[in-house]
Amino acid sequence: MKITRRECLTALAALPLVRAHSAFAATTTLTSADVHPKSYPTVAAVNWMGERLAQETNGRINIKTYFSGQLGREPDAVNLARMGGIDIARVNFAALNNPFPLTAVFSLPFVFDSVEHMRRCVDGDIGRKVLDGFAKRDLVGLAIYDAGARCFYNVRRPVVTPKDLHGLKVRVPTSDIFLEFVRALGANPTPLPVGDSYSALQTHLIDGAENNWPTFHSSRQFEVAKYWSQTEHSHSPEALLMSRKTFEAFSAQDRELVLSVARESVPHMRGLWDRMNTESRETVLKAGVQVNDVDQQAFAAATKPVLDRYLQRDELASLYRGVRALA
């Protein structure tokens, strides 16, 4: 009988966690999941965390990262971590919007003015409040990583105004926010795992997608989508999450160490990110991708009704005011 990957993941999550009752007295290898390739900054940052934990504990605690979606899509990783099937999940906030409503503030269109604005917000009280919100559903928010500015790209034509997106099938993350604001721009949003985007563009299942330079490059989508439009409509960052079962099995001293090392990994990740962002952009431009500026005010105006609907929620409105105060 053939067993699907989803069935394997479900079985893995159901396994009894014997180590969770040992307070990790012996050597412990934490499992971490990421959909990006081995060289990607988020994967490298978690590997750096593993090295630091091993140094600080004389090898007692380390991390093994399963990259390139080996353990499934981002929603799969979140569910596995919640159930204790894996220890750490790195996922974009877009994949968290539906089950964790507070995360919506980071994924709404045109919330952040720049990468620097986003970093100020996630590094302070706003970021801490959002991370603390994961505790309600069996997760511990460890850190917030960068994911750059998201822009539209497609196989058809340059996009300068929302009208240029009309009728195009655009890949989006599994997030109601992204579905709604891409629909508000006149496109047809198509939820797909990021790993399926290349073949979907190649076979014309979709006409375009939206993401950052490093993902556009590392996923090879630039080979088929030759039109990049600098919309910067979202700076939805990345969440680094730990299973609460795993976290609570640590001693108080080890918990503090894990949190400390996770915080230290953020500037390390950002250094890698900034370098890769520049290199990825240069590489795809050399490969013939055409880049154009857009009428950003027109995009912001078209998506404002979506923003306004979400800000009817008092808690989100309060966070949003805090974000804008740091602009």
pLDDT, one tens digit for every residue, the chain (327 residues): 343 555 455 445 444 443 433 345 578 999 999 999 999 999 999 999 999 999 999 999 999 999 999 999 999 999 999 999 999 999 999 999 989 999 999 999 999 999 999 999 999 999 999 999 999 999 999 999 999 999 999 999 999 999 999 999 999 998 999 999 999 999 999 999 988 999 999 999 999 999 999 999 999 999 999 999 999 999 999 999 999 999 999 999 999 999 999 999 999 999 999 999 999 999 999 999 999 999 999 999 999 999 999 999 999 999 999 999 999
241 and 214 share a domain? no
Q: Count other Cβ atoms within 10 Å, centred on residue 12.
A: 16
165 and 18 share a domain? no
How does strand 188-191 pair with strand 227-234? unpaired
Q: Write phi, then psi, for 295 (nearest 5 degrees).
A: -85, 85
Alpha carbons 132 and 130: distance in angstroms, whole number: 5
290 and 214 share a domain? yes
The SS3 call for residue 159 is coil
CATH value at residue 51? 3.40.190.170
Alpha carbons 107 and 125: distance in angstroms, whole number: 17
Domain of 72 in residue numbering reads as 5-148+236-279
Structural domains in the chain (count): 2
Which pTM does this prediction carry? 0.90
